[in-house]
Amino acid sequence: MNYVALRRQIYQHEISQLLAAIRDFGLFIAAVCYQLIIPMFLILPIFMGGQIAEADTSTTQRLFHQSVYLLLSFTLLKIQAKAITGGSYQYYLTSIPASVGQKVYSHIKLCLIGGNLVLLSPLVLCFFMPNLAVIVSTRHLIFFTLMVLLISQTAILRTNPPIISLAITPLLSYFAIRYYPDLQSNALTLAWLIIMVIEFCFVDKVKFNSRGRQLTHYNQMLLLFMRHRRANVVGRSFGVVTIMALFYYYLLQRPDFDLPLAHYIIASPIAIFVGSYQFEIERFRNQYRYYRSTFPLSNQFYRLNETLPLALLSLLTLSLGGYFLHWGLELMLIELILISATAWGVRSWGRFYFIANITATGIIIALLN
């Protein structure tokens, strides 16, 4: 077996391990979302790429489409980063006498397989530009294509997420457009690309021989445990982004749909993904129960510390929902109730945890109607 075929086999094995890692909430995806996820990933990149490439698209709309597209690209590639780089087999791969060309070809091939239409759509749009005049008029698309390629490599080759590129820059750009309506998309996209390049150069690279670190607090141990379970951490983030993208895609197909009811419906699957974080806390508690028993600390202390990560994640979800989906105080409270119901379902019913969420959602909708 040559080097390229070996990398492909490693990728397939890691993806199968990844699918097994998300089996805890995979049943919910299969039951509710499978009919929408496939067309969403087929149509949404093409639709959003077309909106970004269209010269008549307003600067604000283009900024929104670019932000969602980059976030979707990052999460899709980040969840597959270990499979693409062969992280678990790095020491073995470095011992194989493969040429630089083989390594680069394997990396590009696996990136395209992992990114599929999300990476291919802007590349195809750039490739089929008919003449120089079209290229000049839609040069923002070329900048955006470079941004998609760069964010994909950031997801694969860097450890920390590019917060400046994915969060701070879009927000600052949005406020800049509000106060300077004549701001051109070309200049804005080029500035965004430059910021992304700078951040890519300074974000920590992936290291496969990291040393252990001394821990002084119980919370550090819990957070480090969650951080190292990248498939679950990034998988849940990807799930939230996927659900929001599905919501956006569905509203495009049904503009006459009752918008308030749609917000209540979308709150339930988001709570599923956030509340299912309780699985990680339960695993941590079971794995280190003997270690915890050596400390003269009460169970209330451990319970309080173990709820902090989920509480912080819930707060972040509510903030994003309020900003991007325009949730009001009532809907934020409902989302918090659904997250709590999901976490309780994890502790009480295990893999059938989503029953508590669905039951609570039905009761809330019945009471509101």
Instruction: Please give the chain's pLDDT, 369 residues, in tens.
Output: 688 888 888 888 877 776 665 555 554 555 455 445 555 666 777 788 888 888 788 888 888 889 888 988 888 888 888 888 887 677 677 777 888 888 889 989 998 888 888 888 888 888 877 677 777 777 888 899 999 999 999 988 887 788 888 888 988 888 888 888 778 888 888 999 999 999 888 766 555 444 445 556 666 677 767 666 554 555 666 666 666 666 666 666 666 666 666 677 777 777 877 787 777 778 777 777 766 666 666 777 777 777 777 788 788 878 877 776 677 888 888 888 888 888 888 888 877 777 888 888 888 878 876
- For residue 126, being part of any structural domain is answered with yes
Q: 22 with 123, same domain?
A: yes
- For residue 211, being part of any structural domain is answered with no
- For residue 271, being part of any structural domain is answered with yes
Q: 49 with 191, same domain?
A: yes
- Containing domain of residue 137, as a range? 3-202
Domain closes at, from 153, 170, 202: 202
Q: How far is CA 100 from CA 74, 89, 154, 173, 291, in A?
A: 26, 18, 20, 39, 46
- For residue 128, being part of any structural domain is answered with yes
Q: 166 with 276, same domain?
A: no
Q: 104 with 177, same domain?
A: yes
Which pLDDT score, from 0 to 100, does residue 149 have? 93
* Count of domains forming the chain: 2
Residue pair 357/342 in contact by the 8 Å Cβ criterion: yes
Distance CA 174, CA 60 (A): 7
Q: 185 with 281, same domain?
A: no
Taking the alpha carbons at both ends of the chain, their separation in whole angstroms is 62
- Please name every residue paired with 158 in a beta bridge, in sequence order, or none if there are none: 205
**Pick from 192, 187, 177, 145: nearest CA to 59:** 177
Encoded amino acid at 223, one letter: L
- Please name every residue paired with 205 in a beta bridge, in sequence order, or none if there are none: 158
Q: 231 with 175, same domain?
A: no
Distance CA 334, CA 279 (A): 22
Burial 234-271 (b: 16+ CB within 10 A, else e): bbbbbbbbbbbbbbbbeeeeeeeeeeeeebbebbbbbb
- For residue 207, being part of any structural domain is answered with no
Q: 128 with 186, same domain?
A: yes
Residue pair 107/284 in contact by the 8 Å Cβ criterion: no
Q: 243 with 341, same domain?
A: yes
Domain closes at, from 147, 176, 202: 202
Distance CA 233, CA 224 (A): 11
Q: 143 with 281, same domain?
A: no
- For residue 8, being part of any structural domain is answered with yes
- For residue 65, being part of any structural domain is answered with yes
Q: 40 with 185, same domain?
A: yes
Q: 184 with 240, same domain?
A: no
- For residue 213, being part of any structural domain is answered with no
Which pLDDT score, from 0 to 100, does residue 368 have? 75
Domain closes at, from 178, 202, 226: 202
Encoded amino acid at 12, one letter: Q
Q: 269 with 189, same domain?
A: no
Model pTM score: 0.62
